[in-house]
A = this chain, B = another copy of it.
Amino acid sequence: MRYLHTMVRVRDLDSALHFYCELLGLEELRRRDNEAGRFTLVFLAAPGQPEAQVELTYNWDPEELTGGRNFGHLAYEVDDIYACCARLQAGGVIINRPPRDGRMAFVRSPDGISIELLQTGEARTPAEPWASMPNVGAW
């Protein structure tokens, strides 16, 4: 057997793609519009890692996309957790759990999907503005 993807639903495809691709850094691999079913599927992955995809399901008819407790988060490691969090923050994303320890951060997608970010390799040296930044909300 082989893992294919984790599927998450999105209310607004443009804002979801802005978050997952432009701010977080995933790449769009393929897209499929289904006129009859009134939905669009977009498959994303980290660059060079097509074997672990995220499937965005955009239903054309609005629905409420609240979260639950059984699903926790998606986790990615990044080469520079400070640069990644700075890019997300500049894009208007709240850093719910700032990387105070130079190692771990949590943010949320526009639809409330929790995303864990981990520094690749050894933790960075604690540095401002992150070291003294408080938690915001839940993740």
* Residue positions of A touching B, CB distance < 8 A: 1-9, 24-26, 45-47, 49, 51-52, 55, 57, 63-79, 84, 109, 111-113, 116, 118, 120
The interface residues of chain B lying within 8 Å CB-to-CB of A72 are 6-9, 55, 57
A118 CA / B7 CA spacing, docked (Å)? 14
Q: Are A1 and B47 in contact (CB under 8 A)?
A: yes
B66 and A69 contact, CB distance less than 8 A: yes
Instruction: Give the Cβ gap from A119 to chain B, nearest Cβ, in Å.
Output: 11
Residues of B close to A1: CB separation below 8 A: 24-26, 46-47, 76-79, 84
Please state if A70 and B67 are interface contacts (CB–CB under 8 Å).
yes
Closest to A113 in B: B70
Copies in the assembly, this chain: 2
**Contacting residues, chain B, for A75 (C-beta < 8 A):** 3-7, 55
B2 pairs with A46, CB closer than 8 A:
yes
Residues of B with C-beta under 8 A to A64? 69
Measured CA separation A62–B24 after assembly (Å): 33
* A-B complex: 3 closest residue pairs judged by Cβ atoms: A68-B68, A7-B72, A71-B71
